[in-house]
Amino acid sequence: MIERYLVAASSYAQDIDNLILLIAVLVGFWLVLCEVVFFYFIWRFRARDGHKAEYVSGENKAHKRWITIPHLLVLVCDVFIIYGAVRVWVNVKQTLPPPDATVRVIGQQWAWTFVHPGADGKLDTADDIAKIDELHVEVGKTYHYELSARDVLHSFSVPVFRLKQDAVPGRIIRGWFEPTKTGEYSVQCAEICGMGHGLMGARIMIETPGEHAAWVAGQKPLSLASAR
Amino acid sequence: MRLPRLLFIALLLVCAIPVAGISGPDADLARGEALFNTCAACHGDQGQGDALLLAPGIGGLSPWYVEAQIRKFQTGVRGAHPNDIAGLRMRPMSRLLRTDTDTKAVAAYIGTLPEPPTRVTLDGDAARGAPLYAPCIACHGIDGKGNPALQAPSLHSSDWYQLTQLKNFKAGIRGRADDPFGVMMRPMAMMLVDEQAMKDVIAHVQTLGR
């Protein structure tokens, strides 16, 4: 359903969409139910001639049930949400499937530097390809990313992947993604990082193996051993 | 039906009065001043610069030079190298200027700002730098004030900025092949054998009359 409004282009995007949908449906159900009950009470106990206002202390068992029963039911809903959230979290953030390739992602005010492996498929070799605001990946391949920040906090956000990971100066944070759809999509910074934060956008190009190989072949190597 | 239409036309005319009243060079400067508010966050309200923010003094720079540099940042000819820390900050900011008119207006306004006073932050030796400056004279002039015909800017700006740019030219961070005047600076910067030579020549430039 969410995919109708924002393309899902990673192997875990659908899982995250399903989790968001589950939370939205459960919370939405309780929101609507509560509003209906509140408005019913407002109408049912409206001001009428001959009726004095009454303070309800909540000690009466019949009254307390209006709190305890929904409370227990909400806790049951929480179990479903927590189960779904932990399952997705473990898959996306705590598991690192074996990579086909690794890219280095460096945030700095106000640009993203992406260091791609060259034809040898390895980083930190002479044929590395560094690009500003342009990340090229191959569809169907599992990528690890090494995320760092050169100055202040940034956040590497790829909406079509449903991926968002903070970049912290002094740390190299590793994660993964597997693109599942070709195309050109947005990369954003999702952490306020200074006055140019809103302009810190980049593009991700998800290419077929042939397109990606042609792109790699057409690039001038630019090794950036110091750029981490 | 007639009254609303008349009111609408009257409203349009009222709106047109201020627009018609501020055309011409003054309007450009007013527009430039308004646009400069964004630049002032780093470069200072008088374009005096701020070394902590890696923002050089730009007050009084020639409009043609400012305009050319903004265009280079906009098109990625400058500020698109991963190791150009300050350039990467200017790259998105330059793109806030959406039209040629705006770029010209802000460049013109910067040209009206006072030149920032000389502030020495490097330990260069001006006497040793004087002979090193000899090759620079051909384009930047004996007084370092530049020559628009050769697209050579004035060198009277923050000394730390000059040092960073000389290093950038030497390392290939600035002066790409598609930057015809920038690429000319690369061999010139390479003539300065080390950082001390760069500091010395900058120290000499600082002594030249403004």
Cα dihedral A187/A189/A194/A196 (nearest 10): 20
Determine the average pLDDT of the residues in A185-202.
94
Which residue in chain A has the smallest CA separation from B78? A132
- Cβ–Cβ below 8 Å for B85 and A150: yes
Q: Which residue has the higher pLDDT, A171 or A1?
A: A171
Is A109's CB within 8 Å of B83's CB?
no
Task: Quote the pLDDT of residue B3.
Answer: 59
Q: pLDDT band for position B178 (50/70/90)?
A: confident
Would you say residue A57 has pLDDT above 90? no
What residue segments make up the domains of chain A, in order of their start? 2-94, 101-217
Residue B171 CB coordination number (10 Å) = 15
Confidence check on the interface: ipTM exceeds 0.85, yes or no: no
DSSP assignments along B158-206, one per residue: -HHHHHHHHHHHHHTSS--TT-HHHHHHHHHHHTS-SHHHHHHHHHHHH
Q: How far is B143 from chain A (nearest CA, A)?
A: 35
Contact B170, B192 (CB under 8 A): yes
* Cβ <8 Å between A130 and B80: no
Q: B22-36, B168-182, B195-209: which range is least confident on average?
A: B22-36
Asked whether the predicted pLDDT for residue B71 surpasses 80, the reply is yes
- pTM for the model stands at 0.81
Closest CB to B95 among A109, A199, A222: A199
The verdict on a CB contact (< 8 Å) between B81 and A132 is yes
State the pLDDT confidence band at A146, using cuts at 50, 70 and 90: very high
pLDDT of amino acid B180: 84
Of residues B82, B83, B89, nearest to A196 (C-beta)? B89
pLDDT band, residue A30 (cuts 50/70/90): very high
Mean of pLDDT values over A63-81 = 93
Handedness of CA A181, A186, A190, A193 (dihedral sign): positive
Q: How buried is residue A77: exposed, middle or buried, by Cβ count under 10 Å (0-12/13-18/19+)?
A: middle
Instruction: Please give the residue that has the higher pLDDT: either A189 or B14.
Output: A189
Distance CA B44, CA B66 (A): 16
How far is B163 from B158, CA to CA, in rounded Å?
A: 9
Angle between helix B63-75 and helix B85-94 axes, rounded to 10 deg: 90
Q: How much is the pLDDT for A147?
A: 98
Q: Report pLDDT digits (tens) over B56-66.
A: 999 999 999 99
Average the pLDDT over B122-148 and give the result.
Answer: 92
User: Does residue B118 or residue A23 have the better pLDDT?
Assistant: A23
Nearest chain B residue to A115 by CA: give it: B82
| Alpha carbons B66 and B43: distance in angstroms, whole number | 13
The runs of H, that is alpha helices, within chain A are 13-44, 61-93, 209-217
Structure confidence at residue A226 as a pLDDT band (50, 70, 90): very low
pLDDT reported for residue B21: 45
Query: Could you read off the pLDDT of A74-104 as tens digits, one per residue?
Result: 999 999 999 999 999 999 999 999 999 999 9
CATH code that applies to domain A101-217: 2.60.40.420
B55-80 burial, b at 16+ Cβ within 10 Å, e below that, comes to bbbbbbbbbebbbbbbbbbbeebbbb
* CB of A226 less than 8 A from some CB of B: yes
Strand segments, DSSP code E, in A73-226 are 101-108, 111-116, 129-132, 134-138, 143-149, 154-158, 163-167, 173-177, 183-189, 202-207
Partner B contacted by A106 (CB < 8 A): yes
| Residue A32 pLDDT > 90 | yes
A110 and chain B: CB distance < 8 Å anywhere? yes
pLDDT band at B118 (very low <50, low <70, confident <90, very high): confident
Q: In the predicted model, what is the mean pLDDT of chain A?
A: 93
- CA–CA separation, B110 and A88 (whole Å): 53
Residue partners of A16: CB distance under 8 A and separation at least 6: A88, A92, A162
Bridge-based pairing state of the strands A129-132 and A154-158: unpaired
Average pLDDT over residues A152-159: 97
Nearest to B88 among A111, A130, A224 (CB): A111
Using an 8 Å CB-CB cutoff, list chain A residues near B93: 110, 196, 199
Which residue type does A151 have? D
Q: Tens digit of pLDDT for each residue in A113-141?
A: 999 999 999 999 999 999 999 999 999 99
Any CB–CB contact under 8 A between A222 and chain B?
A: yes
CA distance A110 to B84: 11
